[in-house]
Structure 1
Amino acid sequence: MTGIRTAAQAKAWLEHQGKSVQEFAREHGIDPATTYQVLSGRKKGKRGEAHKVAVLLGMKDGIIVPRTMHPTESKDDVLA
């Protein structure tokens, strides 16, 4: 990536690909509402799913760490 995108650039990037926010969210297994909130600036993308959204949209430099299982969860719970 050549730089961090602004929210307007991220929206234009999605439009350039012909993707809706809903479609982008579905493809990445993220909550559409969180995606809209990051794009509108209501969520800053500092942690959790908002962080993941910001990184995937190119609005933030960062890594996405795979979710680890809690000792009381089964593999099926995490994959659901």
Structure 2
Amino acid sequence: MPGIRTAAQAKAWLEHQGKSVQAFAREHGVDPATTYQVLAGRKKGRRGEAHKVAVLLGMKQGIIVDEPEAENSDPQVAS
């Protein structure tokens, strides 16, 4: 990655691609509200989904680790 984008650069990047924030969020399986919050600077992207959004937008370097789903999380399911 050539450099880290600012929020303004990330917005311009989305606009250059002709994508709305909603479309970007759907494409990457993230919450649109979180995406707007990261772009507005209300969430810093330090952990969780905000981190994932910031990395996908190029606003920070990082690794996206899929959260493991809890096995047998549904008590109704019997083995």
Provide the aligned C-alpha RMSD in A.
Answer: 1.0
1:17 aligned onto 2:17: yes
Secondary structure in structure 2 of the residue aligned to 1:49 = helix
Identity between Structure 1 and Structure 2 (%): 80
1:32 aligned onto 2:39: no
Report Cα offsets for 1:5-56 as digits up to 9, x if no partner: 0000000000000000000000000000000000000000000000000000
Higher helix share: 1
Shift of 1:72: 3.1
Match of 1:49 in 2: 49
Q: Which amino acid is the alignment partner of residue 68 of structure 1?
A: P
Query: In the aligned structure 1, how far is the partner of 2:43 from the partner of 2:54?
Result: 9
Secondary structure in structure 2 of the residue aligned to 1:66 = coil
Give 4+ residue runs of structure 1 displaced > 2 Å after superposition. Answer: 71-74
Greater radius of gyration (CA): 2
Shift of 1:67: 1.6
1:7 aligned onto 2:7: yes
Structure 2: give runs of 5+ residues left out of the alignment: 75-79
Shift of 1:73: 2.8
Q: Which amino acid is the alignment partner of residue 53 of structure 1?
A: V
Query: In the aligned structure 2, how far is the partner of 1:25 from the partner of 1:69?
Result: 21
Shift of 1:71: 2.8
